[in-house]
Chain A
Amino acid sequence: MRRPWFLFTMLSFGYAFLYGPIISLVVYSFNKSRLVTVWGGFSTHWYRELLHDEQILSAAWLSLKIASLNACLAVILGLFAGFSLARFGRFRGRGFLSGMVGAPLVMPDVILGLSMLLLFVAMQQTFGWPQTRGMTTILLAHVTFSAAYVTVIVQSRLVDMDVSLEEAAMDLGARPWKVFLLITLPVIVPAISAGWLLAFTLSLDDLVIASFVSGPGGTTLPMVVYSSVRLGVSPVINALASLILLLVTSGIIITGLLLHRQEKLQKTSEL
C-alpha cells in the first residue's frame, strides 16, 4: 500500500478517540480533589465513599441479579432461535422469526420501553399479573432484547460451523439430542459465552427500557447513575464507573483467554 501513514494516523486518532475519555474517567476516580477536573493528588477516598453509599449498593445488587438471570434466560432463548434460523432450512415462519429477532437490534430504546410497559399494563388489567412492576418486568423486557443479540451471535457461529461433524455423528447412529449435546454445543461454546457476556452487559447498562417498565421498588444502577449525573459530575460516579469497567473488561479478557486456550487445544488434538 502506498499510504500507510494516512491509515496509521487515522487508526491512532480513532483509538485515542475511543479510549481517551475512558482513561480520563478512570484517572480522575483516583483524584483527591472533589472537583472532577482539578488534580489534587492520588487517593482512594471515593472508592471508600462508594462502599458506604447504601442507595448505590442496593441498586447495584438489584442490577447484578437482573443481569445474571437475564443472561442465562437470553442464552437459552437465543440458542433456540439461533438454532432454528441456522439449522431448520426454510420452515414456515422463518422470515417472521428472523424479522422479529433483527428488529430489536436497531429499534430505539424509547419505543421498546414504552411498548413493553403498555403490554405489562394490559396484562395486569386482564390477568391481574404482574401486580407490581419491578424486577420481574425489567427481567422480561431485558430478556427479549438481549436474546435478539444472542440469536445473532449463535446463528452466525452455527452457519460457519462444519455441518459434516453433525452428519457424521448422525450417520453413526446418535440421536438428535445427543448430537446437539455432544457435537454442536461444544463447538459453539465460544458463541454462547460471548452471548452470555453481552446479554449481561446489555442488561447492566440499560437505562431507558428499565425506566419505562420499572415501578417504585425497582431502582437499577443505571437509574441511580443517571439521576446523579443529571445533578452534576461526581467523583463517586467516576469510582463506580471504573469498577464497572474493571468488572466487564476482566470478564471479557478472561473468557477471551479461556476460549483461545480451548481453541488451541482443539487444534492440537485435531493434529
Chain B
Amino acid sequence: MALNKWSSVGNMRERQSAVLPQTLLGRFRLWLINFMNWRRVRGIARSLRGRPLVILVPILWFSIFFLLPFLFVLKISFAESLLAQPPFSALLHWSSDGILQLRLNVGNFLMLLEDSLYFSALINSIKVAAISAFLTLFIGYPMALGISRVQSSWRLVLLMLVILPFWTSFLIRVYAWIGLLKNNGLLNNLLLWIGIIDKPLPLLHSDFALYIGIVYSYLPFMVLPLYATLVKLDQSLLEAAEDLGCRPLSAFWRVTFPLSLPGVIAGSLLVFIPAVGEFVIPDLLGGPDSLMIGKILWTEFFNNRDWPVASAIAVLMLLLLVVPMMLFQRIQDRPDNHGNGLRNEL
C-alpha cells in the first residue's frame, strides 16, 4: 500500500517537472500566465456581488431554526413544571422592588441522575444502538463488498435498489414488520407450517423485533458509505497480496478491511447516533420493558406534559451524542473523502 502511494506521488512530481520550463524566458512566461490567472480569479471574486446574501440566508435560517432552539431547550431544562400554558415557569422574574431574579431549577437534572429509571434507559439506549450498529455492519458489509465487485453496469442498479427503501416511508416499513412478526403473522405461520415450532413465538414486542426494526431501517445508511470506500479500493493491492501468498480471508482482514475503515466508522455512526434517540421503532416493535431514552422523552412530553424534564433529557442526550457527532462531522469534512457515500449516492 505504502509503495503504491509513493509511486503515485512520484508520478505527479514527474508530470509537474515536465511542465516546468527550463529557460528563463519560459519561466517568465509562466509567471505572466499565473499572474493573469490570479487577476482573473480576483475579478471573479469581486464580481460575485450576490455572495454575502447567498451565504447569509442559510446561515441565518439555520441559526434561527436549528441553533437557537437548543438554547431554549437548555433554558427550559432549568425551569419548573407548572400547570399552565405553556407548562413551565419563567427563569427571569422582576419582583416589585426592582430586583431581577434568576431562578434556576436543577431539580430536573438531579432527578435524572437519582432516579435509576432514566439512567438505565440511557445505558440501554447506548447498548441497543451499539449492538444495532454492529449487526447492521455485519449484514451491510458483505452487501457493500458484493455490490462493489460486480460489473459496473450492474452496480448502479444494485445500489439504487438499496437506496429505494430509504426513500419510501419509514413508518410504513416499520409497520410492515408488525404484520410479519405478529403471533399470527407470516413468520410464525411459516415456522408452524414447516414444523420447527408447535406454538407461535412471541416475536413482536421483543428485543428481537427491536433489533430487526433498527437494522432494517438503517441498513442503507451503512451500505452507502461502505460502498463508497470499497469501490475506490485499488484491486491491484489484493492481487499483490495474492501473489505474495496471502489467502483470500487473510487478504480481506489485512488489506480490504483496514482500507475501508473510514466507511465502517461513518456507517456505524450514521446508524448509532439516530438509533440512540429512536422513538418509533422501540414504541411499535420493542417490548414494554425495553426502555429507550427517546421513548422516555416522548412519554414525559406527551403523556406527563412535563416539558422541563423532557428538555433536561434532551440536554443529557445531546451531551452524550456530541462526541460521536463531531467525529462524524470530521469524517464528512475530510477533503479526500468528499464522496462519503451519503453525499454522493443519496
Contacts and interface: CB of A to CB of B under 8 A. Distances in A.
A207 B329 CA distance: 26
Nearest to A223: B171
A52 interface: no
A122 B142 contact: no
A18 B158 CA distance: 12
Contact of B161 (A15, A84, A208): A15
A248 B170 CA distance: 12
Contacts of A101: 58, 62
A172 B284 CA distance: 60
Interface string A196-209: 01100100110110
B338 to A, nearest CB: 5
Nearest to A248: B168
Given A102-B329, A110-B314, A144-B65, A201 B169 contact: yes
A160 B65 CA distance: 29
Interface in B154-172: 158, 160-162, 164-165, 167-172
B176 A25 contact: yes
Q: Would you call the interface of chain B mostly helix, strand, loop, or mixed?
A: helix
Contacts of B318: 111
A176 B248 contact: no
A211 B283 CA distance: 15
Interface in B126-173: 139-140, 142-143, 145-147, 149, 158, 160-162, 164-165, 167-173
B161 A110 contact: no
B63 A100 contact: yes
Given A37-B184, A229-B284, A88 B179 contact: no
B279 A159 contact: no
B323 to A, nearest CB: 12
Interface stretch (A6-14, A42-50, A53-61): A6-14
A171 B43 CA distance: 10
Given A25-B172, A156-B338, A7 B149 contact: yes
A241 B59 contact: no
B209 interface: no
B165 A151 contact: no
Nearest to B307: A118
Interface in A21-69: 21-22, 24-25, 28, 35-38
A22 B176 contact: yes
Contacts of B76: 118
Interface residues of B, number: 95
Contact of A116 (B69, B161, B170, B178): B69
A110 B121 CA distance: 15
Contacts of A130: none
B58 A77 contact: yes
Contacts, number: 269
A165 interface: no
Interface stretch (B4-12, B24-32, B99-107, B268-276): B268-276
B62 A100 contact: yes
Given A101-B62, A256-B160, A248 B314 contact: no
Interface in B252-302: 269-270, 273-274, 276-280, 284, 294, 297-298, 301-302
Contacts of A81: 58, 62
A241 B176 CA distance: 9
User: Lowest 6 CB-CB distances: which A-B pairs, in order?
Assistant: A108-B277, A115-B69, A10-B142, A81-B58, A21-B176, A7-B146
Interface of B: 40, 44, 47-51, 54-55, 57-59, 61-70, 72-73, 75-76, 86, 139-140, 142-143, 145-147, 149, 158, 160-162, 164-165, 167-173, 175-180, 182, 184-186, 189, 216, 219, 248, 269-270, 273-274, 276-280, 284, 294, 297-298, 301-302, 307, 310-311, 314, 317-318, 321, 325, 328-329, 332-333, 338-339, 342-344, 346
16 contacts: A18-B216, A25-B179, A37-B189, A77-B57, A84-B54, A84-B55, A109-B294, A118-B76, A119-B68, A121-B86, A152-B346, A176-B48, A205-B171, A222-B169, A245-B168, A248-B168
Interface of A: 1-4, 6-8, 10-11, 13-15, 17-22, 24-25, 28, 35-38, 77, 80-81, 83-84, 88, 91, 93, 96-111, 114-116, 118-119, 121-122, 125, 140-141, 143-144, 147, 149, 151-153, 155-156, 159-160, 167, 170-171, 175-177, 194, 197-198, 201, 204-205, 207-208, 211-212, 222, 225-226, 229-230, 233, 237-238, 241, 244-245, 248-249, 252, 256
Given A84-B55, A114-B297, 13 more contacts: A15-B161, A18-B161, A21-B176, A77-B61, A81-B58, A88-B55, A108-B273, A118-B72, A119-B69, A176-B48, A226-B280, A241-B169, A244-B169
